[in-house]
Structure 1
Amino acid sequence: MTVQGKGQLDAQYGLLTSIAQEAGVSLSTVSKVVHRRRDVGAKTRTRVEELLVQYGYVRSWDRESAASRQIIAVFRDLSGPYTLEVVRGIVDAAGELDVDVVTGTTSRRSIGQWLEECVALGAAGLIIVISMLAEDDQRRIVEQRLPVVLVDPLSAPSADIPSIGVTNWSGAREAVQHLLGLGHTRIAMVAGRSHSLAGAARLHGYRAALEEAGIGYDPAIVGSTDFDYDEALAAGLRILRGERPPTAVFAASDAQALGVLEAARQLGLRVPDELAVMSFDDTLVAAMASPPLSAVRQPFEELGREATRVLLSVAEGRPPASPRIELATELVLRASTSAPPRG
C-alpha cells in the first residue's frame, strides 16, 4: 500500500469512526449502511445516511474514479504454487463480476486488523485463505455480521461463517486407489499437519483407500509436514531410506511432491521406474516438474469464482444454503506414476 493510499485509508476509517460515535452505533453498523445492507433499522439507517451526507462521505462504487466494488483477499503468505493459483482464481472471478481485489497477508497484519481495514475501505467483504481464525475474530464476524468467506480454513469455523474447499478426502482416496490399481502395495504419504482440515482429510482418504484394499497403515512411511518443499524433502529422504522403502509416495501438495522428487533424485531413484509419485493440487508447477506429476486437480478457477460469489451474496444479506461448500476434484495422470518394478 502506498503512503498516499495509507493516508486515505486512515482518513476514511477516522471518518466512519466519527460517524459511528455521533450516531451512537457501532462501526460495523455504519459499514452495513454504507453497503446498503438490509439488517439495520430504518431510524438508525436514516440517521447514519444523514451523517454520511453531512460529512461528505461518498461510497467507493459511487465515485466516477472507482465505479467497481472492492473485496479483500487475505493469505498466510504469497509464496508457493497453491497461493498463486488461488490468487489468480479470485482475481479472475472478481474481474468477471467487475469487482476489484485488494490482496494482503497475515505475516505483519492480523486477521483482526484486516477486519478493521475491510470496514475502513468500505469493501464488500473479506476472503480469508488458509488461516487459523482466533475465537475473538470468529465472535466478531458472527456478532457484527461482517461479510467473510473462508477458503480452506485450518480449523473448523463457526457454522455462521461460510467456508469453501474441495473434496479432499475422496480426492486423496482416488489417488491412492489409482496407485493400488497399478500394483503398488507399499505406498507412503507425505501428509499435511494434523491441525489442517485439508491435510487431515487427505490423510484420512489415504488411510481409507489402504484399509479398503486390506493393507495396514504403517506410520514409518508417513511424514507430517507443512505444505512445504524443504520439509517434504527431509521427510522424503527419511521415508525412502527406511528399512522397507515404499514403491510409491502420495504427497498432500505439489510443493511436497517436488520435495519428494528431489529426495528420489538425491538417492538415485528413477521416477516412475523405481518410485511412483502422486501429488495433490495440480498447480502450474505440476506439469512442469521432471517428470510431470500425476495429481489430484483442485478447480482453482471455480474455487475463486465460488468464494467471490458467496462473499458478494453474504454482503447483500443472502447467506449460502450450506455453511460448507465442497467442489469436486479430478485425477490427472502424467508421467510420474507407473507400475512398481518387478521382483
Structure 2
Amino acid sequence: MGRSADSQPSIANVAALAGVSTATVSRVLSGHRRKNDDISRRVHAAAEKLNYSANFAASALRSDRSRTLGLVLCGATGSVAGSILDLLSRRLTGQHRYLMVASVDGNQALEAAMRSMAARRTEGVIVVPSLDEDPSGMPVDLPAELPVVQVGGKPLSYHTSWVGMDQAASMRLIIAHLAEQNAHAVAYLSRELNTSAATELFSTFSTLTNTLGITPEPDWVQFGPCSMRRGHDNVMAMLADGSSHPDAIICGDDSLALGALMACRELGIQVPDQLKVATFVDSPACLISSPTLTAVRPPLEDIVREALRLVDAKGPSILPSHVALPPQLQCRESTWSPRIGSSDMTSPGTFTY
C-alpha cells in the first residue's frame, strides 16, 4: 500500500527506496558517513524524491552530540570576520552541521556568549577577537570538555587553542617588498598599540627598518584609529611641509591606505613612482582603488580549516595548540614599479613568506 498524499515520508521509506538499512540512511544524512559513493548517492536521491528532511535538532536531543558549533565575533564585523563566517558556514553545511553566531562588544558580552553556547551543548566555540581590543580571558566556569579555538589576537588562556596569521611575517613581507622596490625612507600609520597584534607589528617594523637602514623620521610613525580621514590627514601633514619625505608608507588597514591615496592625488604625488603605499587587511576596496593597493592577505581558508580540525580533535588528552600560518602579499599597482638599474620586470603577483 502506498503512502497517502498528506502523509509524511519516514526514514524507513527512504531506506526501502534506496535499498539500504535505516541506520545507513541516518549516517549518510547526518554527515557521519562521509564517503561520496553509490550508497550515499542513492540515499540522497531517495530522500530528495520523497521530499524527506531529517530532523537533526530532535536527533541531537536524543544523542550526546548537537552537531552545532558556536562562533563569537567580537567588535565591529569587518571583511575578515565576514569572510570567516562565510567560510565556516559553508564547511559546516557540507558536513550537515550547524553554526550558532553571536556578535558582541566587550569582554563581559564575550564571556556571556561563551557561557550561553556551552549551555546549549555546542560541540565547540570559535572566538574571533576584535582588531582593536584584546580579550581579557576565558570564563573559568566553562565545561572542561568544551573545545575553544581562538582566531588571532591575544590568547584567551593557556587552555585555549589558537590559530591565526603570523603578524611578524606580514610586516617582514611588506618591508622586504618595499626594499626590493628601492624604498629608502618608510613611514608607518599604525593602529593604537592596545592589542598584541598591533604591538607585534610595530616592534617588527622598528627592528627591520633599523636593520635595513631605512629608519623613519619620528613624525613618520603615527598611531590612532583606522579611518580614511586619519589616513588622509596624516599623509597630508607628512608630505605638504616641504621638508624630507618618505618614499613609502605602510598603513595599518585598507581605510588608512585609501585616505593616503586621496592625499597623494590632492598633492599631485604619483603612486608608486614618487610614493609607494602598502596596507594590511586586504579587502575588495584594495582591488577597485586607483591605483590598486598592495596588501597582506590572511590565509583565511587555512585558518578556518585548522580551527575546525582543532575543535574536532579536542579531547581530554589533547593539549592546546598554537598555529601561526604564513600570510600572502598581494603585490599591486600602489608599490610595483621597475627597480632603478634593474632588468626585473616581473609582473605583480602573490608572494608567501
CA contact (8 A) 1:159 1:323 kept: no
Paired with 2:90 and 2:188, the residues of 1 have a C-alpha distance of 33
Change (3 A) 1:80 1:232: farther
Change (3 A) 1:245 1:300: same
Paired with 2:269 and 2:338, the residues of 1 have a C-alpha distance of 12
User: Residue 30 of structure 1 corresponds to which residue in structure 2?
Assistant: none
Unpaired runs of 5+ in structure 2? 1-55, 341-353
Q: How far apart are 1:173 and its partner, in Å? A: 1.3
- Give 2:92's match in structure 1, choosing from 91, 94, 117: 94
The one-letter amino acid paired with 1:163 is: W
Paired with 1:77 and 1:178, the residues of 2 have a C-alpha distance of 32
Paired with 1:94 and 1:237, the residues of 2 have a C-alpha distance of 47
Paired with 2:159 and 2:307, the residues of 1 have a C-alpha distance of 15
Change (3 A) 1:96 1:269: farther
Q: How far apart are 1:250 and its partner, in Å? A: 1.0
User: Residue 74 of structure 2 corresponds to which residue in structure 1?
Assistant: 76
Q: How far apart are 1:277 and its partner, in Å? A: 0.7
Paired with 2:145 and 2:234, the residues of 1 have a C-alpha distance of 43
CA contact (8 A) 1:184 1:339 kept: no
2:322 pairs with 1:324: yes
User: Residue 124 of structure 2 corresponds to which residue in structure 1?
Assistant: 125
User: Residue 245 of structure 2 corresponds to which residue in structure 1?
Assistant: 245
Q: How far apart are 1:204 and its partner, in Å? A: 2.3
SS at match of 2:301: helix
The one-letter amino acid paired with 2:276 is: A
CA contact (8 A) 1:72 1:126 kept: yes
2:281 pairs with 1:281: yes
Paired with 1:267 and 1:230, the residues of 2 have a C-alpha distance of 16
Change (3 A) 1:93 1:203: farther
Q: How far apart are 1:93 and its partner, in Å? A: 3.3
User: Residue 148 of structure 2 corresponds to which residue in structure 1?
Assistant: 148
What is the RMSD computed on CA atoms of the aligned residues? 3.0
CA contact (8 A) 1:85 1:300 kept: yes
User: Residue 310 of structure 1 corresponds to which residue in structure 2?
Assistant: 310
Change (3 A) 1:235 1:70: farther
Change (3 A) 1:145 1:262: farther
Change (3 A) 1:121 1:289: farther
User: Residue 110 of structure 1 corresponds to which residue in structure 2?
Assistant: 109
User: Residue 224 of structure 1 corresponds to which residue in structure 2?
Assistant: 223
TM-score, with length taken from structure 1? 0.70
Identify, as 1 or 2, the structure richer in helix.
Answer: 1
User: Residue 207 of structure 2 corresponds to which residue in structure 1?
Assistant: 208
CA contact (8 A) 2:281 2:295 kept: yes
Q: How far apart are 1:187 and its partner, in Å? A: 0.8
SS at match of 1:157: coil
SS at match of 2:140: helix
The one-letter amino acid paired with 2:150 is: L
Q: Deviations over 1:184-210 (max 9, x none)?
A: 111111122212222222222322321
CA contact (8 A) 2:57 2:66 kept: no
Q: Give me the identity figure in percent.
A: 22
- Give 1:334's match in structure 2, choosing from 320, 332, 335: 332
Paired with 1:138 and 1:238, the residues of 2 have a C-alpha distance of 45
TM-score, with length taken from structure 2? 0.69
CA contact (8 A) 2:136 2:156 kept: no
The one-letter amino acid paired with 2:135 is: L
Paired with 2:59 and 2:233, the residues of 1 have a C-alpha distance of 50
Paired with 2:73 and 2:190, the residues of 1 have a C-alpha distance of 21
User: Residue 85 of structure 1 corresponds to which residue in structure 2?
Assistant: 83
CA contact (8 A) 2:183 2:248 kept: yes
| Total equivalences in the alignment | 278
Paired with 2:229 and 2:139, the residues of 1 have a C-alpha distance of 32
Q: How far apart are 1:227 and its partner, in Å? A: 4.4
Unpaired runs of 5+ in structure 1? 1-57
Paired with 1:233 and 1:222, the residues of 2 have a C-alpha distance of 14
CA contact (8 A) 1:72 1:127 kept: yes
2:274 pairs with 1:255: no
SS at match of 1:128: strand
Structure index of larger Rg: 2
Q: Deviations over 1:294-313 (max 9, x none)?
A: 12221111112212221232
Higher relative contact order (CA 8 A, sep 6+): 1
